[in-house]
Amino acid sequence: MAAIARRDAVLDSSLIIQHTRLGNKRHSFFLRSLFVYEPNLSAISIYEIELGAYRAGRLSDIAALQVDFKVLPITEEIAQRAARLDVDLIRRNRQIGIKDTFIAATCLAYDLPLLTVNVRHFDRVEGLQLIDLNTLSVLNE
């Protein structure tokens, strides 16, 4: 039987942070997502994840996952999209913070959906495709 091709998606740092904090990894949205999606990370998510690791005295949470992530760099186009997006969110009094603005702009620039635990922030961004985490199959014990 042929393997089903996984689709590209951007994983928000919230998925990986949730994974590192869980005792029972069976409930990890991060692990569940790997069966369906090719994991892409914004360079901003790398910063957020590793900052948490370094502050806690760990060497690297990214390396500990042993997953081959495709890292999406911040380009001039993404910086410009982030600026326009931030202006729009500020005007609507719906800011999501500069890091999440860059993550959203990255998704929009690459036309990729976002997997996030933090839906209440990202659903404020028009045109951003969000993946419902509840559609991911639960892992067997």
Question: Does the pLDDT value for residue 125 go beyond 80?
Answer: yes
* 31 Rama class: left (phi>0) / alpha (psi -120 to 50) / beta: alpha
Cα gap 114→131, rounded to integer Å: 6
Helices 13-21 and 43-55: angle between axes, nearest 10 degrees: 30
Going along the chain from its start, the domains and CATH numbers come out as 7-134 (3.40.50.1010)
Q: How far is CA 15 from the centre of its chain?
A: 7
Residue 1 has a pLDDT of 45
Give the global pTM.
0.91
Q: Which of 9-18, 83-92, 132-141 has the lowest mean pLDDT?
A: 132-141
**Between residues 80 and 32, the one the model is more confident about:** 80
Helices (H), 22-67: 29-33, 43-55, 61-65
Summarised one tens digit per residue, pLDDT across range 26-42 is 889 999 999 899 999 99
pLDDT of residue 83: 98
Residue 70 predicted with pLDDT over 70 = yes
- Give per-residue pLDDT as tens, 89-118: 999 999 999 999 999 999 999 999 999 999
Task: Give the closest residue to 29 by CA, choosing from 10, 15, 46.
Answer: 15
